[in-house]
Structure 1
Amino acid sequence: MQEMEKIHQAGDISYALLMSSEAVDTLDIDVGAADREGFIYFHQKFGMPYTFLLKRSIESGHFLFVSIAGNAKLIGFARFEKLEEQTEKEIKGKMNVVSPSLFLLRSMEVHSSFRNCGIGRVLFSTAVYYLRGNVLTIPDNPEATSFFSKKLGFTEVTDPIGNYRQKYEGYLMLAYPRAVALWHEIATRYPRIVYPELIDLYESLKFRLNMGKVIPCNDINRFETLLGKCDGMLSGVMEKEMDHLLNELRRCVRCNT
């Protein structure tokens, strides 16, 4: 059984969907305390072991997305429950989605040592890009409300939603396709967080080219590969600058193997 589906790699940090509860056993989970960094919210508020929480989430059929540093260090997780399947309708011989799937973000937490550096935003945007549906959440404190509203673009639910036209009073929602567009927005605004290897290599190549230094073919090929993996997610200006640099490297630099 596949234990983990990797969705995105940013330097030594990977973003993935855990596919089985056994995958939780492979993670290095730091539980925080007053004098120790780590995950603390569920342990402090509910006395709940994180291994139990994460395993139960998967066993309950929830989607568990994680961010992992290195091979196994858990630095963030987000738990989603699917409330409704998408509905489709045949229009002119083609099946079209008329109502996207509806998900509830049950919880999200980032390791205390990795907060305020974009990990949470990349984790969340990676997850909703994968899920491709409407996302609900009900923040339990003002700080969380501010984060979801100001950082991620959630808005208050004012009308009945979903296939059953239910009211979700007090909930916030990130509507599809805004949820899918969020990934592009995060990549555009924070390219160094989303594509650290590409940005570092771009700056290095640009400097070496300006200094007239010899640039090996391997570096140019790696730059082309990393740029291709962005799949149009960078801002138009940055992508144009990188394409220009790549053309300059091909034209002006003698490749050395």
Structure 2
Amino acid sequence: QFPDSAPARLNHISAKDGGYLRPHRSHQSGRDADIGLFYKGDRFPPRGAARERLIDPARNWALLRALITETDVQLILVDRSIQTVLHRFALSIGEDAAWLAQVFGQMVKHARSHRDHFHVRFYAPRSQELGRRLQPMLALLPGQNLTTYVVHAGNTLGQIAARYKTSVAAIRRANQMKRESLLRLGQHLIIPLRGACTICPLPPPLAIPPRLLPPEPPASVAQSWWGGINPELSTAE
């Protein structure tokens, strides 16, 4: 569809052996990847530029559409300003408005600091099922007996540590926090619990939802857009 396009830029899948990949909270299991946006004329914008004005809507929408309709994607994170440009472009080429509402309401989510790339998380049925079966056994190890906590107004590390019968130092280590680090409202903390898990139920099996496919487009739209030429856009220029 775009034979002269520069190749996509793929970054930050995971560390070689998994685990924390600076500076991300995710990208730890091999299911996440950052895919750089395409820009007009393939000219990479300078730092601080309004990227929503410089992206190539056609190529970025084609990439986003292919990810959603042709792969098993769990979610896609990108800044709301980029979403607005792509949503407007998709409507202009005749994409179904109801389907787009699902795409940008369910699949594509806003994330700060995601103005130059798509953060894509894929389903991986085999590895996720293996992890599901191993989770109770891993939880028998004290270092793997973890839970998560969302910070609320008025919380302190001391309160959270007391609630889970752990220590402030253990929470800091698990979240790579410095002594001067402050808690943020809505922050997700990893909480290491003391000792091994004593009641370790098997998590529910993974259920991958069907792909979010659009309705069949009218023949005129299919020929004009997916054939590489959109008469409405070309005449408007």
TM-score under structure 2 length normalisation? 0.31
Higher strand share: 1
Q: From the two aligned structures, give the one with the greater helix fraction.
A: 1
Q: Which has the higher contact order (CA 8 A, sep 6+)?
A: 2
Normalised to the residue count of structure 1, the TM-score between the two structures is 0.30
